[in-house]
Structure 1
Amino acid sequence: MAKKHNKKLAIVRQWNQYIQDGALENWQRLLKDLGLEGEFRSKNQCRKALKKIWVNIYDFLEAVKVGKPVPRFKTEAELSHYTLRTDRVFPKKHITKGSPLANLMAHIVG
């Protein structure tokens, strides 16, 4: 149980290091790392762009770390199935209000 807890805390730390203070520049970097083209001049534009993006946060952070394209899913259901199968669920209680994670979170149903 402790190992699973440590894994979840590690992913939260990695995300927080990635997104830093949540400034617009960090949101723009996120969209670029997700492979989204275009100029996103506000957080609201960034939020809208994230609405139909389905990625696993663990996979996202790993891909960015090694400079590879981020694996994306076609649907929320595909992401949900994969996330449950691999047990790579980001702990919801660590999502802060206004974070891009709030826009990326899928409804994981098992």
Structure 2
Amino acid sequence: MPRSIQRVYSRYTLEAIKLFAEMIRFERKNQKMTESELAERAGISRSMLQRIEKADPKCELGVVFEVAALLGIPLFDATADVNRLITYRRQTEEKLSLMPRRIRKPAKETFDDF
């Protein structure tokens, strides 16, 4: 059986996760919503919500985004709506389509001229 990998996160990543977790906890309390109520609305367990609010970096990104969306926390831009996010995504897809599908390291040229 493979051993679980101990993942190391950068300080920036951990601070960003903590900030987002605190924003979620603050907004839930600001809306006077219990953990159980929010967990039920998000379709997750109460313990998962507690992990999100404690800034556990192993929580699924989609679940965290859904909880934030339910609370009305903007994810990218304070003025962004769904249509704007779709536009941004399409622009990014267009940029990606211009890039190569794979990134390959250039082959080392062998110098054999003695």
The two structures share one fold, judged by TM-score above 0.5: no
Which one scores higher on RCO, CA 8 angstroms, separation ≥ 6?
Answer: 1
Q: TM-score by structure 2 length?
A: 0.30
Q: TM-score by structure 1 length?
A: 0.31
